[in-house]
Amino acid sequence: MEPHPDPAPARSEPETPGGIFAAMRQWRAAANSAGKVGPTLHRRVAVELRPYLGSSAAGAVLDDVSDSSANLLSTIEPVLAGFLGARAASLLVSRIVDTLIVNN
Amino acid sequence: MLLARIKDRVAEERGRFSTLILGTTAAYLFMGVAAAVAWSATGQTAWIEYFFQIPGALLLVWLAVAEMALGIRVWRCFGAGEPLRRAWLFIVCSSASAVLGYLYSQLLGVSSKLNPLSHMSNPSPALIQRMRELGLLLGGTVRFAFLAAGLSCVLALYRRSGFMGRLRRRDWLLLGALAVYLVVEYGDVLVALRAGTRFSLSTILGWPVDPLLWLLMGEALLIVRSVQKTGLGWIGRCWAAFSVAIFLTVLGDVGLLATAYDYIPWPLSAVTWFIWMPAAAAFALGPAYQLEAIQMASGELPERRRWGNS
C-alpha cells in the first residue's frame, strides 16, 4: 500500500505554542549568529556610538541593554537626544539600525 | 600616498567652522608674534599697539560674533523641553553680551582709527571711557553670569545621564587657591571701603566678575572630569572647548592682576595680552563642535575619521 500523500504542504510557521517558542529560539540563534541581536550587535553599536559619546560612555549606555536587545533603541536614543537633540538622535539611530540590522 | 592622505584630510576639514576658527586664530597669532618681534627689534611700540588696536580687536569681535551665530544655530537644533535648549539659550545670551562687550570695549572704548567716535570733531575722552566701562560690564559680569547658568544646565544633563565626573584633589587645590585669591582681593576692597574710598558704579558692577570666574572654573573642572569619564567623543569636545576657554580667561584675569602688582615684569607681561585670542577662539569652538556633532549625526556632514582608521 502506497503511503498516503500529505495533503498539506510543509508549513514554515509553527502551529503550537511550543513550536512558536522553538521558532523564536531558532530565529534568535540565527539573528545572534548574524550579529543582529545580543553581545555582537551591542559591540557593533558601541563602535558607532563611540565617536559621539566617547568610548566609556558608549560602553556604559550599552551595559543597560538586555541580552535580547529588546530595549536597545529605547536605551540609546534618549541619551543621544539629550546631547544632540531629538531630531539628530533619531536620524543617527535610524542610520545605525539601517547599517547594522536592516542592510546587514 | 602622503599627498593623498593630506588631500583626504583637507577635504574632510572643508566647510567645518571649527577649522575656520582654528585657522584664522592661528594666522592672527602668527601676525601678533611677528608684530611683537618687530617691536622687540625696532623698539617701536607702535607695532604691537597697532596689532592689538586693529587686527586683534577685529578678531575678538569676529570670534564673538561667530560664537553667537553658531550658538543660535545649535539652540535651534534643540526642541522645546529638551535639556540642552535652555543651556544653549543661556550660552547665546552670554555670547551676545560678549559681542556687545567687545564692540564697546575694543572698538568704541579705545582711541583707535576703528573707533567712529575718534573721527568726531571733538571726541570726549569721558564718553570713550564710558563706552569702555559699559563694554567691560557686558563682557564681564553679564557674560559670565549667563555662561555659568548655561554650564549648570549642561552639568545637570551629565549628572542625569550618569556621566558626571568627580573633582580630583588637584582640582580642589586649584579652586582653594583661587578662593584665597578672592578673599585677599575682597579683603582689600573692604579695607578701602573702611578707609572711605568711594568706588564708581562701573567698578562696583564689575565686582562679581571674579566670584563668577571662580564658579565657572569649578564648572569647567567638573566638565573636564565628566568628559574624561565618557572617553572624549565629539559631543564632549564641545564642552571641553568651553572649559579650555574658561581656563584661559582665568589665566588672563590672574595675569592682569599680576601685571598690575608688578609680579610679571615688562615686557614679559605682554604675553598675557595674547591669551584673550585663544580664549575667544575656544569659546567659539564650543558651539562649532556641537553643531558639527549634530550635523554628522544627521548625515549633513561626513563623519570625521574615527580612531584606529588611517
Do A82 and B231 lie within an 8 Å CB cutoff?
Answer: no
CA distance B79 to B236: 20
Quick check: A88 and B230 CB within 8 A? Answer: no
Query: Which chain A residues touch B297 with a CB distance below 8 Å?
Result: 52, 80, 84, 88-89, 91-92
Instruction: Give whole-number Cα distances, B222 to B94, B153, B155, B239, in Å.
Output: 20, 13, 8, 10
Which pLDDT value is given to residue A49?
92
pLDDT for the residue numbered B269: 76
Min distance B102 CA to chain A CA atoms (Å):
30
In a domain? residue A39: yes
Give a yes or no: residue A60 inside a domain: yes
Which structural domain, as residue segments, surrounds residue A86?
A: 23-102
Please tell me if residue B302 touches chain A, with a CB cutoff of 8 Å.
no
What contacts B302, CB < 8 A, 6 or more positions away? B12, B296
Instruction: Report chain A's mean pLDDT, rounded to a whole number.
Output: 77
- Residue A13 domain-assigned? no
| Nearest-CA distance A51 → chain B (Å) | 5
The residues near B174 (Cβ < 8 Å, ≥ 6 apart) are B217, B221
Q: Which residues of B touch A54 (CB under 8 A)?
A: 227, 230-233, 235-236
Q: Is the ipTM of this complex over 0.95?
A: no
Which grid coordinates are listed for B128?
Answer: 570713550
- What DSSP letter does each residue of B72-128 carry, written as one string? HHHHHHS-TT-HHHHHHHHHHHHHHHHHHHHIIIIIITS-STT-GGGGSSS--HHHH
Checking if the pLDDT of A27 tops 50, the result is yes
Residues B29, B274: contact at Cβ < 8 Å? Answer: yes
Residue of A nearest to B307 (CA): A51
Does A25 have pLDDT greater than 90?
A: no
A43: enclosing H helix or E strand? helix A38-53
Q: Is A93 inside a domain boundary?
A: yes
Residue A19 is predicted with a pLDDT of 67
Q: Is residue A80 part of a domain?
A: yes
CB contact under 8 A, A51 and B303: yes
Read off the pLDDT of each residue in A76-101 and give the average, rounded to a whole number.
90
Tally of CB atoms within 10 A around B15: 12
Degrees to nearest 5, angle at CA B259 with B256 and B264: 130
pLDDT at position A67: 79
| Cβ within 8 Å, pair A57-B163 | yes
> How much of chain A exceeds pLDDT 90, in percent?
26
Name the nearest CA neighbour of B180 among B188, B272, B141. Answer: B188
Among the listed residues B290, B256, B21, the one whose alpha carbon sits nearest the alpha carbon of residue B150? B290
Grid coordinates belonging to A23: 521558532
pLDDT score of B84 = 94
How many domains, chain A?
1
Sorting pLDDT into bands at 50, 70 and 90, what band is A10?
very low
- Which stretches of chain B are DSSP H helices? 2-13, 17-42, 46-51, 57-77, 83-102, 125-137, 143-161, 169-194, 201-206, 209-230, 234-260, 271-274, 276-298
Q: How far apart are CA A86 and CA A93, in angstroms?
A: 10
A24, pLDDT greater than 70: no
Residue of B nearest to A85 (CA): B78
Closest CB from B84, B162, B229 relative to A83: B84
Q: What is the pLDDT of residues B253-288, one digit of tens each?
A: 888 888 877 887 776 777 788 899 999 999 999 999
SS3 call for A39: helix
Low-confidence stretches of chain B (pLDDT < 70) are 1-2, 9-15, 121, 267, 304-310
Confidence tier at A1 by pLDDT (50, 70, 90)? very low
What is the structure's pLDDT at B308? 40
Contact list in A for residue B84 (CB cut-off 8 A) is 82-83, 85
Q: How many whole angstroms separate alpha carbon B239 and alpha carbon B84?
A: 12
Q: What pLDDT was estimated at residue A14?
A: 53
